[in-house]
């Protein structure tokens, strides 16, 4: 019997070293820049402070991963909201549309 695991451990997500700066550039170029850039910068600053305390980059990686997903899914969300599908009782579309403005 071996003490070695019979499976490979999952490799944690690690963005490229320049990913945060590239992501910030993409956010600044997006039509949602006004609300998104300050939100990203705040989340990044919070995660950076936590990483200093915990000696872990996991929080920073998570911020990058979440914002990359938001940016990538934004066109699909926008298309859905513009499709006039009736989601009465589930989503207040007018409230969401007013937030986008």
pLDDT at 60: 94
- 38 vs 27: CA distance, rounded Å: 10
Predicted model pTM: 0.70
- 45's CB contacts (< 8 A; 6+ apart) are none
pLDDT digits (tens, 9 = 90+) for 17-49: 899 999 999 999 999 999 999 999 999 999 999
| Secondary structure of 11-61 as H, E, C letters | CCCCCCCCHHHHHHHHHHHCCCHHHHHHHHHHHHHHHHHHHHHHCCCHHHH
């Amino acid at each position: 019997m071996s003490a070695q695991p019979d499976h490979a451990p999952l490799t944690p997500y690690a963005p490229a070293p320049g990913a945060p700066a590239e992501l910030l550039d993409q956010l600044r170029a997006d039509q949602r820049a006004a609300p998104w850039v300050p939100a990203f910068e705040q989340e990044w600053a919070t995660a950076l402070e936590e990483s200093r305390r915990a000696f872990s980059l996991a929080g920073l990686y998570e911020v990058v991963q979440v914002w990359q997903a938001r940016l990538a899914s934004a066109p699909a969300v926008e298309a859905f909201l513009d499709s006039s599908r009736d989601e009465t009782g589930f989503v207040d579309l007018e409230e969401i549309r007013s937030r986008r403005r």
